[in-house]
Amino acid sequence: MNSATQKMVEQTIESIVQITNPYGSGSGFLIDGLIITNSHVVSGLKEVLISTKTLPKTIGTVIYDDPAFDLAFIRSPILIEHKNPLILSSQSVQDGDNVIAIGHPYGLNYSTTEGIVSKATRLQGEVEYIQFDAAINPGNSGGPLLNESAEVIGVNTFIIQNSNNLGFALPAYTLKEALDQFNALKTEDVIRCGSCKNLIHETSIKNDYCPKCGTKLEVAKRRREGYKPSGVVALIEKILKALEINVTLARRSQRSWRFEIGKTRIDINYYDNGIIIADSALCRIPQENIEELYDFLLSENSVLERLQFSINENTVYLSYIIVDSSLSEEYGTAALRKLFDNAPRYQALLLSQFKALEPKFDEFE
Protein backbone atom coordinates (compact mmCIF):
# COMPACT_ATOMS: atom_id res chain seq x y z
CA MET A 1 0.00 0.00 0.00
CA ASN A 2 1.51 3.34 -1.05
CA SER A 3 1.63 6.41 1.19
CA ALA A 4 -1.28 8.13 -0.58
CA THR A 5 -3.50 5.10 -0.08
CA GLN A 6 -2.40 4.78 3.54
CA LYS A 7 -3.30 8.42 4.15
CA MET A 8 -6.70 7.87 2.56
CA VAL A 9 -7.38 4.85 4.76
CA GLU A 10 -6.47 6.83 7.87
CA GLN A 11 -8.75 9.63 6.69
CA THR A 12 -11.80 7.43 6.14
CA ILE A 13 -11.46 4.44 8.46
CA GLU A 14 -13.50 5.87 11.33
CA SER A 15 -16.51 6.13 9.01
CA ILE A 16 -16.29 2.46 7.97
CA VAL A 17 -18.71 0.24 9.88
CA GLN A 18 -18.77 -3.48 10.58
CA ILE A 19 -22.29 -4.92 10.51
CA THR A 20 -23.22 -8.24 12.12
CA ASN A 21 -26.42 -10.24 12.46
CA PRO A 22 -27.16 -13.91 13.24
CA TYR A 23 -26.90 -14.84 9.57
CA GLY A 24 -23.58 -13.22 8.71
CA SER A 25 -21.58 -10.02 8.61
CA GLY A 26 -20.64 -7.27 6.20
CA SER A 27 -19.56 -3.68 5.92
CA GLY A 28 -21.10 -0.22 5.75
CA PHE A 29 -20.14 3.45 5.80
CA LEU A 30 -21.53 6.73 7.08
CA ILE A 31 -23.06 9.29 4.71
CA ASP A 32 -25.60 12.05 5.44
CA GLY A 33 -26.28 10.82 8.98
CA LEU A 34 -27.00 7.25 7.83
CA ILE A 35 -25.04 4.02 7.60
CA ILE A 36 -25.15 2.78 4.02
CA THR A 37 -24.89 -0.94 3.30
CA ASN A 38 -26.41 -3.72 1.17
CA SER A 39 -29.85 -5.16 1.72
CA HIS A 40 -28.37 -8.65 1.82
CA VAL A 41 -26.02 -7.60 4.64
CA VAL A 42 -28.93 -6.79 6.99
CA SER A 43 -30.68 -10.06 6.02
CA GLY A 44 -34.17 -8.59 6.24
CA LEU A 45 -33.86 -7.73 9.94
CA LYS A 46 -34.91 -4.49 11.61
CA GLU A 47 -32.00 -4.53 14.05
CA VAL A 48 -28.34 -5.34 13.43
CA LEU A 49 -25.12 -4.91 15.38
CA ILE A 50 -22.77 -2.18 14.28
CA SER A 51 -19.26 -1.29 15.42
CA THR A 52 -16.39 0.91 14.27
CA LYS A 53 -12.72 1.30 15.06
CA THR A 54 -13.55 3.59 18.00
CA LEU A 55 -17.07 2.46 18.90
CA PRO A 56 -17.92 -0.88 20.54
CA LYS A 57 -20.85 -2.95 19.35
CA THR A 58 -24.20 -1.23 19.53
CA ILE A 59 -27.60 -1.81 17.98
CA GLY A 60 -28.47 -0.09 14.71
CA THR A 61 -32.00 0.19 13.33
CA VAL A 62 -32.61 -0.64 9.67
CA ILE A 63 -34.92 2.14 8.48
CA TYR A 64 -34.79 1.48 4.72
CA ASP A 65 -34.51 -1.87 2.97
CA ASP A 66 -34.25 -1.99 -0.80
CA PRO A 67 -33.80 -5.49 -2.29
CA ALA A 68 -34.29 -4.10 -5.81
CA PHE A 69 -30.97 -2.21 -5.69
CA ASP A 70 -29.52 -4.22 -2.78
CA LEU A 71 -29.36 -1.17 -0.51
CA ALA A 72 -30.17 -0.60 3.15
CA PHE A 73 -29.92 2.43 5.44
CA ILE A 74 -29.26 2.10 9.16
CA ARG A 75 -29.85 4.70 11.84
CA SER A 76 -27.64 4.98 14.92
CA PRO A 77 -27.66 8.25 16.90
CA ILE A 78 -24.58 7.17 18.84
CA LEU A 79 -22.58 6.62 15.65
CA ILE A 80 -23.69 9.90 14.13
CA GLU A 81 -22.44 11.80 17.17
CA HIS A 82 -18.96 10.27 16.91
CA LYS A 83 -18.17 10.10 13.23
CA ASN A 84 -17.54 12.30 10.19
CA PRO A 85 -19.41 11.12 7.10
CA LEU A 86 -17.84 10.16 3.80
CA ILE A 87 -18.64 12.20 0.68
CA LEU A 88 -20.45 10.94 -2.38
CA SER A 89 -18.50 11.65 -5.55
CA SER A 90 -20.18 13.75 -8.22
CA GLN A 91 -17.52 12.93 -10.81
CA SER A 92 -18.17 10.42 -13.59
CA VAL A 93 -16.28 7.14 -13.32
CA GLN A 94 -14.06 6.16 -16.23
CA ASP A 95 -12.54 2.87 -17.32
CA GLY A 96 -9.04 2.60 -15.86
CA ASP A 97 -9.69 4.85 -12.82
CA ASN A 98 -7.83 3.83 -9.68
CA VAL A 99 -10.10 2.63 -6.86
CA ILE A 100 -9.81 1.46 -3.26
CA ALA A 101 -12.18 -0.95 -1.50
CA ILE A 102 -12.39 -1.00 2.31
CA GLY A 103 -14.32 -3.55 4.32
CA HIS A 104 -14.27 -6.61 6.54
CA PRO A 105 -13.79 -9.70 4.34
CA TYR A 106 -14.23 -12.95 6.28
CA GLY A 107 -14.40 -10.86 9.47
CA LEU A 108 -10.86 -9.52 8.93
CA ASN A 109 -11.43 -5.98 10.07
CA TYR A 110 -10.53 -2.94 7.97
CA SER A 111 -8.94 -4.72 5.04
CA THR A 112 -7.99 -2.48 2.12
CA THR A 113 -7.42 -3.47 -1.50
CA GLU A 114 -6.48 -1.40 -4.55
CA GLY A 115 -7.43 -1.84 -8.18
CA ILE A 116 -8.79 -0.17 -11.28
CA VAL A 117 -12.19 0.20 -12.90
CA SER A 118 -12.49 -2.52 -15.53
CA LYS A 119 -15.77 -1.16 -16.92
CA ALA A 120 -17.48 1.97 -15.64
CA THR A 121 -20.97 0.75 -16.51
CA ARG A 122 -21.87 -2.93 -16.53
CA LEU A 123 -25.53 -3.91 -16.72
CA GLN A 124 -26.58 -6.86 -14.57
CA GLY A 125 -30.30 -7.47 -14.95
CA GLU A 126 -31.94 -4.06 -14.66
CA VAL A 127 -29.20 -2.46 -12.57
CA GLU A 128 -26.00 -0.72 -13.63
CA TYR A 129 -22.79 -1.50 -11.72
CA ILE A 130 -19.16 -0.45 -11.72
CA GLN A 131 -16.95 -3.43 -12.51
CA PHE A 132 -13.50 -3.32 -10.87
CA ASP A 133 -10.59 -5.63 -10.13
CA ALA A 134 -9.70 -4.78 -6.51
CA ALA A 135 -9.85 -8.03 -4.55
CA ILE A 136 -12.99 -8.24 -2.43
CA ASN A 137 -14.55 -11.19 -0.64
CA PRO A 138 -17.58 -12.04 1.53
CA GLY A 139 -17.69 -9.40 4.26
CA ASN A 140 -16.70 -6.58 1.90
CA SER A 141 -20.34 -6.27 0.87
CA GLY A 142 -21.79 -2.88 1.76
CA GLY A 143 -18.41 -1.18 2.10
CA PRO A 144 -17.36 1.85 0.06
CA LEU A 145 -15.52 1.90 -3.23
CA LEU A 146 -13.42 5.06 -3.16
CA ASN A 147 -11.68 7.15 -5.79
CA GLU A 148 -8.29 8.82 -5.38
CA SER A 149 -9.96 11.79 -3.65
CA ALA A 150 -11.37 9.49 -0.92
CA GLU A 151 -14.88 10.07 -2.24
CA VAL A 152 -17.42 7.26 -2.52
CA ILE A 153 -18.01 6.22 -6.12
CA GLY A 154 -19.94 3.05 -5.28
CA VAL A 155 -21.20 0.50 -2.78
CA ASN A 156 -19.37 -2.84 -3.01
CA THR A 157 -22.18 -5.27 -3.70
CA PHE A 158 -21.12 -8.63 -5.12
CA ILE A 159 -18.38 -10.68 -6.73
CA ILE A 160 -18.37 -13.45 -9.29
CA GLN A 161 -17.18 -16.58 -7.54
CA ASN A 162 -14.00 -18.29 -8.74
CA SER A 163 -13.11 -15.30 -10.88
CA ASN A 164 -9.90 -13.32 -10.90
CA ASN A 165 -10.83 -10.31 -8.73
CA LEU A 166 -14.12 -9.53 -10.47
CA GLY A 167 -16.11 -7.18 -8.21
CA PHE A 168 -19.18 -5.03 -8.74
CA ALA A 169 -20.26 -1.84 -6.96
CA LEU A 170 -23.57 0.01 -7.13
CA PRO A 171 -22.70 3.47 -8.52
CA ALA A 172 -22.86 6.60 -6.36
CA TYR A 173 -25.54 8.12 -8.58
CA THR A 174 -27.90 5.21 -7.87
CA LEU A 175 -27.22 5.54 -4.13
CA LYS A 176 -27.86 9.30 -4.31
CA GLU A 177 -31.16 8.75 -6.11
CA ALA A 178 -32.26 6.27 -3.43
CA LEU A 179 -31.19 8.66 -0.65
CA ASP A 180 -33.11 11.54 -2.25
CA GLN A 181 -36.25 9.43 -2.64
CA PHE A 182 -36.05 8.16 0.93
CA ASN A 183 -35.37 11.59 2.45
CA ALA A 184 -38.28 13.10 0.51
CA LEU A 185 -40.68 10.81 2.40
CA LYS A 186 -39.56 12.26 5.75
CA THR A 187 -40.31 8.97 7.49
CA GLU A 188 -38.66 5.67 8.37
CA ASP A 189 -39.49 1.95 8.13
CA VAL A 190 -39.54 2.10 4.33
CA ILE A 191 -38.96 -0.72 1.86
CA ARG A 192 -38.78 -0.70 -1.95
CA CYS A 193 -40.95 -3.09 -3.89
CA GLY A 194 -38.76 -5.16 -6.18
CA SER A 195 -41.47 -5.29 -8.84
CA CYS A 196 -42.97 -1.79 -9.23
CA LYS A 197 -39.95 -0.09 -7.54
CA ASN A 198 -42.21 2.12 -5.38
CA LEU A 199 -41.11 3.05 -1.87
CA ILE A 200 -43.60 1.61 0.61
CA HIS A 201 -44.08 2.50 4.27
CA GLU A 202 -44.48 -0.65 6.34
CA THR A 203 -47.71 0.56 7.96
CA SER A 204 -49.41 0.44 4.56
CA ILE A 205 -48.47 -3.21 3.93
CA LYS A 206 -51.12 -5.86 4.58
CA ASN A 207 -50.36 -9.59 4.59
CA ASP A 208 -46.90 -8.80 3.18
CA TYR A 209 -48.21 -7.68 -0.22
CA CYS A 210 -47.25 -4.45 -2.00
CA PRO A 211 -50.22 -2.04 -1.80
CA LYS A 212 -49.25 -0.61 -5.22
CA CYS A 213 -48.85 -3.70 -7.43
CA GLY A 214 -49.84 -6.67 -5.26
CA THR A 215 -46.44 -8.40 -5.36
CA LYS A 216 -45.47 -10.54 -2.36
CA LEU A 217 -42.85 -8.62 -0.35
CA GLU A 218 -40.50 -11.18 1.17
CA VAL A 219 -38.49 -8.47 2.93
CA ALA A 220 -41.67 -7.27 4.67
CA LYS A 221 -42.26 -10.78 5.99
CA ARG A 222 -38.67 -11.13 7.23
CA ARG A 223 -38.78 -7.74 8.94
CA ARG A 224 -42.11 -8.61 10.58
CA GLU A 225 -40.98 -12.01 11.83
CA GLY A 226 -37.45 -11.02 12.90
CA TYR A 227 -34.89 -13.48 14.19
CA LYS A 228 -36.29 -16.24 16.40
CA PRO A 229 -33.84 -18.84 17.73
CA SER A 230 -35.14 -22.34 18.39
CA GLY A 231 -34.10 -25.58 20.05
CA VAL A 232 -30.77 -25.67 21.86
CA VAL A 233 -29.84 -22.21 20.56
CA ALA A 234 -32.95 -20.77 22.20
CA LEU A 235 -32.06 -22.59 25.43
CA ILE A 236 -28.52 -21.17 25.42
CA GLU A 237 -29.86 -17.67 24.91
CA LYS A 238 -32.46 -18.16 27.67
CA ILE A 239 -29.63 -19.13 30.04
CA LEU A 240 -27.57 -16.10 29.01
CA LYS A 241 -30.52 -13.77 29.58
CA ALA A 242 -31.04 -15.28 33.04
CA LEU A 243 -27.38 -14.41 33.73
CA GLU A 244 -28.06 -10.81 32.64
CA ILE A 245 -26.10 -11.03 29.38
CA ASN A 246 -27.38 -8.81 26.56
CA VAL A 247 -27.86 -11.57 24.01
CA THR A 248 -28.41 -9.21 21.08
CA LEU A 249 -25.06 -7.55 21.62
CA ALA A 250 -23.31 -10.85 22.39
CA ARG A 251 -24.60 -12.73 19.34
CA ARG A 252 -21.93 -13.20 16.65
CA SER A 253 -23.86 -15.73 14.58
CA GLN A 254 -26.70 -18.18 15.10
CA ARG A 255 -24.40 -20.43 17.13
CA SER A 256 -21.76 -18.11 18.54
CA TRP A 257 -21.73 -15.50 21.32
CA ARG A 258 -19.02 -13.25 22.76
CA PHE A 259 -19.08 -10.80 25.67
CA GLU A 260 -16.96 -9.48 28.52
CA ILE A 261 -17.22 -10.12 32.24
CA GLY A 262 -15.25 -7.18 33.55
CA LYS A 263 -12.01 -7.34 31.55
CA THR A 264 -12.35 -11.05 30.82
CA ARG A 265 -13.66 -12.23 27.44
CA ILE A 266 -16.08 -15.15 27.27
CA ASP A 267 -16.79 -17.08 24.05
CA ILE A 268 -19.60 -19.58 23.61
CA ASN A 269 -19.79 -21.75 20.50
CA TYR A 270 -22.28 -24.47 19.59
CA TYR A 271 -20.75 -26.82 17.03
CA ASP A 272 -22.40 -29.01 14.41
CA ASN A 273 -21.26 -32.16 16.24
CA GLY A 274 -23.46 -31.19 19.21
CA ILE A 275 -20.66 -29.93 21.46
CA ILE A 276 -21.14 -26.63 23.30
CA ILE A 277 -17.94 -24.95 24.50
CA ALA A 278 -17.96 -21.89 26.72
CA ASP A 279 -14.45 -20.68 27.41
CA SER A 280 -12.28 -17.77 28.33
CA ALA A 281 -8.74 -17.09 27.12
CA LEU A 282 -7.18 -16.12 30.43
CA CYS A 283 -3.54 -15.54 29.59
CA ARG A 284 -0.48 -16.65 27.64
CA ILE A 285 2.11 -18.81 29.35
CA PRO A 286 5.22 -16.93 30.54
CA GLN A 287 8.79 -17.79 29.63
CA GLU A 288 9.52 -18.45 33.31
CA ASN A 289 7.55 -20.21 36.08
CA ILE A 290 6.12 -22.58 33.46
CA GLU A 291 6.45 -25.72 35.59
CA GLU A 292 4.81 -24.04 38.58
CA LEU A 293 2.02 -22.79 36.35
CA TYR A 294 1.39 -26.29 34.94
CA ASP A 295 1.35 -27.79 38.43
CA PHE A 296 -1.20 -25.22 39.54
CA LEU A 297 -3.49 -25.84 36.55
CA LEU A 298 -3.35 -29.62 37.03
CA SER A 299 -4.11 -29.34 40.74
CA GLU A 300 -7.05 -27.06 40.06
CA ASN A 301 -8.41 -29.43 37.38
CA SER A 302 -8.44 -32.24 39.94
CA VAL A 303 -10.87 -30.35 42.17
CA LEU A 304 -12.83 -28.17 39.74
CA GLU A 305 -16.41 -29.18 39.03
CA ARG A 306 -17.93 -28.51 35.61
CA LEU A 307 -14.99 -26.34 34.55
CA GLN A 308 -11.51 -27.29 33.35
CA PHE A 309 -8.24 -25.62 32.37
CA SER A 310 -6.57 -26.34 29.05
CA ILE A 311 -3.72 -24.92 26.97
CA ASN A 312 -4.00 -24.36 23.25
CA GLU A 313 -0.66 -23.35 21.72
CA ASN A 314 0.51 -20.88 24.37
CA THR A 315 -2.87 -19.66 25.67
CA VAL A 316 -4.50 -20.86 28.90
CA TYR A 317 -8.27 -21.38 28.75
CA LEU A 318 -10.90 -21.98 31.39
CA SER A 319 -13.77 -23.88 29.80
CA TYR A 320 -17.17 -25.44 30.29
CA ILE A 321 -17.91 -28.21 27.77
CA ILE A 322 -21.18 -30.10 27.37
CA VAL A 323 -23.10 -32.11 24.78
CA ASP A 324 -26.31 -30.43 23.65
CA SER A 325 -28.46 -33.41 24.67
CA SER A 326 -27.23 -33.02 28.26
CA LEU A 327 -27.82 -29.28 28.54
CA SER A 328 -30.61 -28.17 30.83
CA GLU A 329 -31.57 -24.68 31.95
CA GLU A 330 -30.75 -25.39 35.59
CA TYR A 331 -27.45 -27.17 34.98
CA GLY A 332 -26.31 -24.79 32.25
CA THR A 333 -27.13 -21.70 34.31
CA ALA A 334 -25.17 -23.00 37.29
CA ALA A 335 -22.16 -23.98 35.16
CA LEU A 336 -21.98 -20.71 33.22
CA ARG A 337 -22.41 -18.69 36.40
CA LYS A 338 -19.43 -20.56 37.81
CA LEU A 339 -17.41 -19.79 34.66
CA PHE A 340 -18.39 -16.11 34.81
CA ASP A 341 -17.41 -15.89 38.50
CA ASN A 342 -14.14 -17.80 38.21
CA ALA A 343 -12.66 -16.63 34.89
CA PRO A 344 -11.85 -13.07 36.10
CA ARG A 345 -10.52 -14.41 39.42
CA TYR A 346 -8.24 -16.98 37.81
CA GLN A 347 -7.07 -14.50 35.19
CA ALA A 348 -5.98 -12.01 37.84
CA LEU A 349 -4.25 -14.77 39.82
CA LEU A 350 -2.34 -16.18 36.83
CA LEU A 351 -1.19 -12.74 35.73
CA SER A 352 -0.01 -11.68 39.17
CA GLN A 353 1.24 -14.89 40.83
CA PHE A 354 2.80 -16.64 37.82
CA LYS A 355 3.67 -13.55 35.76
CA ALA A 356 1.61 -14.89 32.87
CA LEU A 357 1.13 -12.64 29.86
CA GLU A 358 -2.05 -10.88 28.81
CA PRO A 359 -4.03 -12.74 26.13
CA LYS A 360 -3.82 -11.35 22.61
CA PHE A 361 -6.93 -10.42 20.64
CA ASP A 362 -7.55 -8.71 17.35
CA GLU A 363 -7.82 -5.01 18.24
CA PHE A 364 -11.25 -4.65 16.63
CA GLU A 365 -12.48 -8.21 16.95
pLDDT tens readout for residues 161-204: 666 678 999 999 999 999 999 999 999 999 999 999 999 999 99
**DSSP type of residue 326:** G
Q: What percent of the chain has pLDDT over 90?
A: 77
pLDDT at 364: 47
| pLDDT single digits (tens) 149-162 | 999 999 999 887 66
Query: Domain boundaries in the chain?
Result: 1-226, 231-353
pLDDT at 182: 98
Q: Are 277 and 319 in contact (CB under 8 A)?
A: yes
Residue 57 bridge partners (DSSP):
none
Q: What is the CA radius of gyration of the chain?
A: 23
CA distance 121 to 127: 10
Q: Spelled out in words, what is the top-level CATH class assigned to the domain 1-226?
A: mainly beta
pLDDT at 85: 86
Report the interhelical angle of 231-242 vs 329-353 (nearest 10°).
Answer: 60
Q: Are 67 and 200 in contact (CB under 8 A)?
A: no
The mean pLDDT of 341-363, rounded to a whole number, is 92
pLDDT at 10: 76
| pLDDT single digits (tens) 26-72 | 999 999 889 999 999 999 999 999 988 777 789 999 999 999 999 99
For the chain, the residue count is 365
The mean pLDDT of 87-91, rounded to a whole number, is 94
pLDDT at 328: 97
pTM of the model: 0.89
**Catalytic positions, please?**
40, 70, 141
3-state secondary structure of 107: helix
The mean pLDDT of 297-312, rounded to a whole number, is 96
The mean pLDDT of 16-28, rounded to a whole number, is 92
pLDDT band of residue 312 (cuts 50, 70, 90) is very high
DSSP 3-state percent helix, strand, coil across the chain (nearest 5): 30, 35, 35
pLDDT at 6: 75
pLDDT at 35: 95
pLDDT at 129: 97
pLDDT at 80: 59
Q: Could you confirm whether domain 231-353 is CATH 3.30.1460.10? A: yes
